[in-house]
Structure 1
Amino acid sequence: MQHLSKKIFISHSTLSVILIMELVIGIIGNGFIALVHCMHWVKGKKMSLINQILTALSISRIFQLCLLLISLLINFSYPDLTTRSRMIQVTSNVWIIANHFSIWLATCLSILYFLKISNFSFSLFLYLKWRVGKVVSATLLVSLVLLILHIVLINMEITLCINEYQRNISCSFNFYYHEKCHRHMLRLQIVFLPVPFVLSLSTFLLLIFSLWTHHKRMQQHVQGGRDARTTAHVKALQTVIAFLILYSIFILSILIQVWNYEFLKKNIFIVFCQVIYIAFPSFHSYVLILGDMKLRQACLSVLWRLK
């Protein structure tokens, strides 16, 4: 029994170290993206739409990762503070906002890649392509409506949980919240996650179709080699598919929690879920660095100077 407890403690400690490393790696990667684009903005006095989205995305993820890091430090240093109902309500709302912008800005990036790189002759596509800035702005505005609805529903759920707890105080609020309310919160989150996923998946499939039609057109006129548009298609597809894979893992981790909620009663599983959560905003930043020539060159320059 002692041997099993020791193994669980070691596993928990290992996952905690991995979680902290992911947080640090993610903050460094997103901080690097924001810094490079801000430096180019200061030098050139202007910033393209794609760089604006990348900068906003990296800043939102820095905030998201710092928020989780602070909450972990508070949880380790002042565990009683995180069990209060007001603290749970505040952290839930802030986490929803940070996570929302992290997901939707990445989705806007997929839409931007699709409109900039794809080549269709449909009148609707051409209309959207010529107004790509307005399309991105409209997407973000629609996402804000979903964000407000999400926050309202979450706060209603937490308020209901607090009222039920106050009528029957037989345990700590933290225990009552995780036993009775947390699963409903996860179900609410699942309701809002498929929308950006479906949008990104649609852009991915349309990019593949655009690449296929472009490849057929090129075969009729040019033999061999890869032209610039094909290369742009491939790079965009690589970035979008990396986002979809990481986002799918993120959604899958939440579905597992809802499907088998008994796992959440074990601290080691909670830490494991957090490790999966953080993999999305942390590692996706390095996918963006590898997919952007300026960011890649800046990263190689920094590594060369460090050597």
Structure 2
Amino acid sequence: MNGFIRYILLTTLNVEFIMGYLGNAFTVLVNIMQWVKRRKISFIDQIFTTLAISRIGLLLSLIESLFVSEWYSDIILTRRRVRQISISWAVTNHFSIWLATCLSIFYFLKISNFSNSIFLHLKCRVKKVVSVTLLASLLLLFLDILVINTRIDVLIDGIQANMFYSAISSNYTQVSRLVLLTNTMLTLIPFTVSLTMFLLLIFSLWRHLKNMQRNAEGSRDVSTTAHIKALQMVVTFLLLYTVFFLSLLMQVFNTEFQQKNSVTLLFWTTELAFPSGHSYVLILGNAKLRQAFLSMVWWLRCRLNGAEPSGS
């Protein structure tokens, strides 16, 4: 029974990785093609593209970490290799979270409607606000890498002193827990920012609907639709990231972390669901990407049915 569950989880992992990779690669391809065709790219498309690239890197980093910890725990890794694996995961995860947070800020500033002077000032400078937010997050990334490097050196030096050789086993449990815990704590900041944007969007929508009722207007207009779409995008990100966050925490505190059991694979499966599933949420939530995706699905369907795409 345990072998069957493990097989199901491994199959799910493979499907999640393939689907996540294809979804993010599709976003990058569509936006680059539009960029080449029109000789320009909008700011929101820049965010989508860089976010998709970071998600591809995160998926590759997660799969690499999974292989090392689950299937190659008996090989010997050098200090440099351990540092590369840890930092690559930290960097890709950082940009994956913060770019999604910048997307939430973008939606909030573009769609919400408040009369506050500070809000209006920021609303007129959306691109600058998002860019400054991303640049400021690099300070946290620098701190994260600094902590990881320092703790890795301390942990490995301690292991070498006890084991009398200059390399360590790739099941580096303490190092893995350190990286997971550090990143999990630091990414609470962008999560809090996105949650704040979500609550402010709800408040903005409530005020908008209240004004419409007062003016005896219809219950649905362009602004209401935009609010609802933005809320759907942000709340989906929050839900998926909550699952991702809880999965990281469970890995940190899992007493069976070194064992190749189904529980550990379940954590990896839920972890991969975030960068994989969120890519399709973004595709379906963006008109241009959604149209390109539906056109591709229609073309593939025609090819599989042996018909020409131009047919009726």
Give TM-score scaled by structure 1 length.
0.90
Structure 2 residues without counterparts, runs of 5 or longer: 302-312
2:205 aligned partner, one-letter code: L
Paired position in structure 2 for 1:125 = 119
Secondary structure at 2:115's aligned position in 1? Answer: coil
Does residue 237 (structure 1) correspond to residue 231 (structure 2)? The answer is yes
1:110 and 1:200 in contact (8 A); partners too: yes
Cα distance change, pair 137–198 in 1 and its aligned pair in 2 (3 A)? same
Paired position in structure 1 for 2:169 = 174
**Once the 2 structures are TM-superposed, how far is the Cα of residue 258 of structure 1 from its aligned partner?**
3.2
Paired position in structure 1 for 2:84 = 90
Structure 1 residues without counterparts, runs of 5 or longer: 1-6
2:224 aligned partner, one-letter code: T
1:265 aligned partner, one-letter code: Q
2:283 and 2:290 in contact (8 A); partners too: yes
Among 248, 255, 259, the residue aligned to 1:262:
255
The farther-off stretch of 180-189 and 43-52 is 180-189
Paired position in structure 1 for 2:154 = 160
2:260 aligned partner, one-letter code: N
**Once the 2 structures are TM-superposed, how far is the Cα of residue 34 of structure 1 from its aligned partner?**
1.1
**Once the 2 structures are TM-superposed, how far is the Cα of residue 89 of structure 1 from its aligned partner?**
1.4
Paired position in structure 2 for 1:47 = 41
Paired position in structure 2 for 1:208 = 202
Paired position in structure 2 for 1:217 = 211
1:29 and 1:286 in contact (8 A); partners too: yes
2:137 aligned partner, one-letter code: S
Paired position in structure 1 for 2:177 = 183
**Once the 2 structures are TM-superposed, how far is the Cα of residue 47 of structure 1 from its aligned partner?**
1.3
2-side partners of 1:222 and 1:59: how far apart?
Answer: 46
Secondary structure at 1:120's aligned position in 2? Answer: coil
2-side partners of 1:133 and 1:222: how far apart?
Answer: 35
Paired position in structure 2 for 1:301 = 295
Among 139, 149, 166, the residue aligned to 1:145:
139
Among 8, 32, 40, the residue aligned to 1:38:
32
Paired position in structure 2 for 1:18 = 12
The farther-off stretch of 181-190 and 68-77 is 68-77
The farther-off stretch of 106-115 and 249-258 is 249-258
The farther-off stretch of 201-210 and 225-234 is 225-234
Does residue 289 (structure 1) correspond to residue 283 (structure 2)? The answer is yes
1-side partners of 2:10 and 2:171: how far apart?
Answer: 25
Secondary structure at 1:265's aligned position in 2? Answer: coil
1:57 and 1:102 in contact (8 A); partners too: yes
1:228 aligned partner, one-letter code: V
Cα distance change, pair 220–147 in 1 and its aligned pair in 2 (3 A)? same
2:58 and 2:89 in contact (8 A); partners too: yes
Cα distance change, pair 80–265 in 1 and its aligned pair in 2 (3 A)? closer
Paired position in structure 2 for 1:248 = 242
Secondary structure at 1:263's aligned position in 2? Answer: coil
- How many equivalent residue pairs? 299
1:75 and 1:82 in contact (8 A); partners too: no
2-side partners of 1:264 and 1:72: how far apart?
Answer: 12
Secondary structure at 1:121's aligned position in 2? Answer: coil
2-side partners of 1:88 and 1:36: how far apart?
Answer: 35
Q: RMSD in angstroms over aligned alpha carbons?
A: 2.2
Does residue 107 (structure 1) correspond to residue 105 (structure 2)? The answer is no
Cα distance change, pair 72–192 in 1 and its aligned pair in 2 (3 A)? closer
1:193 aligned partner, one-letter code: T
1:184-233 deviation line (CA, Å, top 9, x unaligned): 33332232021000000000000000001111111122433411111000
1:81 and 1:87 in contact (8 A); partners too: no
Give TM-score scaled by structure 2 length.
0.89
2:55 and 2:92 in contact (8 A); partners too: yes
1:20 and 1:69 in contact (8 A); partners too: no
1:165 and 1:176 in contact (8 A); partners too: no
Cα distance change, pair 285–42 in 1 and its aligned pair in 2 (3 A)? same
Paired position in structure 2 for 1:228 = 222
Percent sequence identity is: 48
1:74 and 1:82 in contact (8 A); partners too: no
2:85 aligned partner, one-letter code: T
2-side partners of 1:19 and 1:78: how far apart?
Answer: 17
The farther-off stretch of 31-40 and 124-133 is 31-40
